[in-house]
Amino acid sequence: MRASEDAILVEIYKRPIIESPDHFRPSKRVNLFIVQIIISPSPTRRSGARSRSRSQRNRAMEKAIERQRILLTHLLPSSSSSSSSSISPSDSSLLAASVCGAGDSAAYQRSSSYGDDVVVVAAYRTPICKSKRGGFKDTYPEDLLTAVLKVQTFLIQTVPVRTVNRQCSSGLQAVADVAAAIKAGFYDIGIGAGLESMTMNSVAWEGSINPKVNAFQKAQDCLLPMGITSENVAHRFGVTRQEQDQAAVESHKRAAAATASGKFKDEIVPVTTKIIDPKTGEEKQVTISVDDGIRPETSLSGLAKLKPVFKKDGSTTAGNSSQVSDGAGAVLLMRRDVAMRKGFPIFGVFRSFAAVGVDPAVMGVGPAVAIPAAVKSAGLEIGDIDLFELNEAFASQFVFCCKKLQLDPAKVNVNGGAIALGHPLGATGARCVATLLNEMKRRGKDCRFGVVTMCIGSGMGAAAVFERGDGVDELSNAKKIESQKWLSKDAV
């Protein structure tokens, strides 16, 4: 766009934002990215040529500069963009091009919903069953996944798939990868799923180890048994046996209450499978519809009788550790405008994801580092989060992370965690997303933001922030975000 002969050159690229239905849209908007602003003196005009007076030219220039000042104020991705301080029209040095660090999807305050959001329209899981002894002991992994991921025949030859491995966070990583690809425009719809049959697949390492590992202590720590890392957390950070056992009791208590009240029915897809009698070989068809690892009668006195598993004088027992389990989960994501066009309900909104590194010897502390990173990426504070799904790999690390971040117990694992439900490694992330979003939906406008997080073997942590599906409709928001906060992972 070029001004006539006032010699003010303003080059602007503009792209309309995909518009949502009228009840979501406060006004029509255009994203503006100022590329260049050049102010130069007017060329000398030939004698006798008619020209506007100097005062008219000055007013025109001031008007143009004021317009750019207003645009820059809206584009700044920091708290200064929302401040009331003004820039003097005469101070042209402040009129430099500004790149919106929040990205084109967050160059405005997110007080409503927009078509470029990545949304969750469905999230389901199978029941979680005890490995080798539970309802899925004779179920092939593929048959387990089929319960939550059924693909029409024609899609098999047209839709690509790939596997993801980040150990305990693989299910969440799959969801995050799909969300990132949708945000990048690679595709509009994707499924992030997780599957684990610990009955069929042993977690024991069967390969050879490079002897050079012995020369590097941190590399050796990556190979520590997970139970030893739990003992390390308890010892290093002073988590007592009683605290661990109490966390286990609470996990079973909450999971049992959620099951009894029917809360899990909204997220569980029943699985029809077979069970083979090990003595007679008789095959029986059954339908599994509930988690079979929950023990409602769990008590402190009962857990106190269990001996440590990994160290003779340790505190990690079978009762205060996550269960070895079988299960699957899947999460369907798409662009908001696509979901609305197809008539799908908006179940949740994917806001941010973070994976972090920690000391491999105490890998269980991962969530204590990942949660702040993901929350900050979403432009929020920990106090803004209404619910947490913090995977209970071990009670030691669960207790430490909650204490370290000073999390409200009433917000964390309100329906129990992996100590009671089980921890099918590859499926846990997707399971937690389904559990979190269903609970957020039940709580309605009193619950806007939730976090899914877990520790990861070899020294990592992962966390993702979700917003309740209808929580971004400004008419239903329970609380507003301060003007300096932006819901984008790049605006920090």
Indicate if 432 belongs to the active site: no
Q: Determine whether 235 is an active site residue.
A: no
Q: Which amino acid is at 378?
A: A
DSSP-assigned letter for residue 18: P
What lies within 8 Å, CB to CB, of 394 at 6+ separation is 226, 227, 230, 233, 244, 316, 320, 321, 322, 364
Report whether 321 contacts 227 (CB < 8 A).
yes
Q: Which amino acid does the sequence have at 84?
A: S
Three-state SS at 59:
helix
Catalytic residue among 129, 168, 432, 447: 168
Q: 129 with 135: CB under 8 angstroms?
A: yes
Q: Which of 100, 252, 401, 423 is catalytic?
A: 423
Would you state the structure tokens that stand for residue 102, as one six-digit string? 């929040």
Give dist(CA 352, CA 338) in Å, integer. 20
Distance of alpha carbon 142 from alpha carbon 221, whole angstroms: 33
Residue with tokens 């939730």: 450
- Give the Cβ contact number of residue 307 at 10 Å: 8
Angle at 192 between CA 338 and CA 376, to 5 degrees: 85
Residue 455 designated active-site:
yes
Question: Which residues form the catalytic set?
Answer: 168, 423, 455
